[in-house]
Structure 1
Amino acid sequence: MTIFLYDQTFEGLLTAVFDAYSRKSFPDSIFKTGEPLPLFYDEVYTVVTDYEKAERVWKLLVRKLSKGALTTLTYSWLSEAPDIAMLLFRYIRKITDAPRSIETNFADPDILAVTKLGKKVADERYRILQFMRFQKTSEGIYYGAMEPLYDVFPLTINHFRDRFADQKWLIYDVKRKYGYYYDGENVDEITFSNPLQTHLLTGKLDDSLLDKDEKLFQTLWKSYFKSICIKERLNPVKHKKDMPVRYWKYLTEKN
């Protein structure tokens, strides 16, 4: 059994594809560097991420796949599925070796699995755009936190930057302990030296950190939400389907 080790980056995975073809030796399993290995194997090859190699593989995929399939490929990577590296390696290899497009050959289990994962990530991105609730801080920064199933925050940046172009904002992934800050011009990835602060765990800012009018706006929003609810038409099952319970702790109207 041949094992590839990589740095758990997408560029590292693309480099692994390039190296496998160069070596004419393809992995049976892919592990991240430092991860415990199985007891029995024949060879371990350490992939050194090379952006030029990764770029060459990506350009090949651009030629072989439609824009939609490329999006599905990158979205599925953000699913963080336990076997995603090996799944995408097999997917890319099949796409590379096929004489014609096979991106819609859903009889192939790898093509189907990547497509399903891509759709799940796309759905999660849409839910984050729907349910993100911002709180205005005393410094005039709009803070929003959530705990998405998949690592979809990178897919939301363009939306928030366009939607709130004239406002400073910070979105924070509670699960992965990182976020993005927009200063009115640029978006930067950020982490905090003390990720155990209460608002970084719960997504709720302490009253002392809020803008003086924020509590009023939250109260008005809750009142509006209650006023538009028609008790006779309440459908709890549909409500939970449209607005999954796992998001409720981050929604102003639910607290």
Structure 2
Amino acid sequence: MMSSNNSKKVYTYDGSYQGLMTALYTAFKNREAPVKILAEAEFRDDLFYQKEVINTDQEKSEFFSEQIKKHISAQALNNIFHCYLSEADKMELYLFRYLFTGFKVGKSVDELLTKDYIRQIHDLAHRVRHESHRLKGLIRLKEAAGGKYYAAVEPDYKTLILLAPHFKSRFSTMDWIIHDHKREEAVIYSAEDKEWLLIDLEKGFEPKLSRRETEVQDLWRAFFSAVSIKNRRNRKVQQQFMPKKYWKHLIETPGSSQNYKLE
């Protein structure tokens, strides 16, 4: 049973996945049901709530993850991670309720779609996976000065960590950076070390393209425009497969004309 003596308690964590898992672990360990679980940056002082700062603990996070896999399922842990990447409002409480039910009923928790919070978990996780899959086919690496490669994206969700293994596999002999403009963070990959890291970047970071890259882009745009049949353009269908929100960072603009600018 969860304690009812802490009905006004708010947990705050550092915003990391490990921090969230530590906060969830703490709630179950202490048999508490906090009214909110928030990233520290999202918390606003409120006289009606008692704030408790949860410090990230890697060991607790890993232990709790293992307990979820053991007593619920590996798929449940997968859903939790992808839901976290959605950064959605109330995501943390949805996860708390999902786990509370999951520890009671086991892996069948994902069949209880009549419960709103479980539908929310599934929907958010699906949205994150879908965007990640779509971006794998839309991201274009460009050669920057110094022989490194660069791509910029502005995803709705925190998907860089899902993209990194795919691009490591496909471009393992190149040094590259995939930059999330919205969150000012990036995945950087070293061909020498065969490792990738998620880092923060300064606002406005954008490397200068190499001369060869500029020439190749000009040729590609000219080709894309030349093969485009004006009378057969269907922007509605184009946007189903390649939503307009992703066009900004593409070399080829769907339906573009000779000036290559977005309409």
Counterparts of 1:139 and 1:179 in 2: how far apart (Å)?
A: 18
Structure 2 equivalent of residue 171 of structure 1:
178
Counterparts of 1:173 and 1:132 in 2: how far apart (Å)?
A: 11
* Post-superposition offset of 1:109: 0.8
Structure 2 equivalent of residue 222 of structure 1:
221
Structure 2 equivalent of residue 186 of structure 1:
195
Structure 2 equivalent of residue 78 of structure 1:
85
Conserved 8 A contact 2:221-2:252: yes
Structure 2 equivalent of residue 15 of structure 1:
22
Structure 1 equivalent of residue 257 of structure 2:
none
Deviations 1:48-101 (Å, cap 9, x if unpaired)?
222222222111111244444432221110001121111111111211122562
Structure 2 equivalent of residue 124 of structure 1:
131
Conserved 8 A contact 2:72-2:106: no
Seen in structure 2, the aligned counterparts of structure 1 residues 172 and 25 have a Cα distance that, compared at 3 Å, is: same
The letter of the residue matching 2:229 is I
Conserved 8 A contact 2:37-2:92: yes
Deviations 1:160-216 (Å, cap 9, x if unpaired)?
001001111111110111112112022122333x4234x3xxxxx5xxx32232122
Counterparts of 2:135 and 2:185 in 1: how far apart (Å)?
A: 15
Aligned-partner SS, 1:187: strand
* Post-superposition offset of 1:129: 1.0
Conserved 8 A contact 2:161-2:198: no
Counterparts of 1:235 and 1:119 in 2: how far apart (Å)?
A: 27
Counterparts of 1:61 and 1:187 in 2: how far apart (Å)?
A: 27
Seen in structure 2, the aligned counterparts of structure 1 residues 226 and 105 have a Cα distance that, compared at 3 Å, is: same
Alignment of 1:23-38 (within 5 A): 23-33=30-40, 35-38=43-46
Provide TM-score, normalisation by structure 2: 0.85
Alignment of 1:107 with 2:107, yes or no, is no
* Post-superposition offset of 1:13: 2.2
Structure 2 equivalent of residue 151 of structure 1:
158
Conserved 8 A contact 2:145-2:209: yes
Structure 2 equivalent of residue 202 of structure 1:
none
Counterparts of 2:106 and 2:142 in 1: how far apart (Å)?
A: 53
Counterparts of 2:147 and 2:14 in 1: how far apart (Å)?
A: 38
Conserved 8 A contact 2:139-2:153: yes
Segments of 5+ residues of structure 2 without an aligned counterpart are: 1-7, 254-259
Conserved 8 A contact 1:4-1:46: yes
Conserved 8 A contact 2:177-2:186: yes
Please give the root-mean-square deviation of Cα atoms over the aligned residues, in Å: 2.0
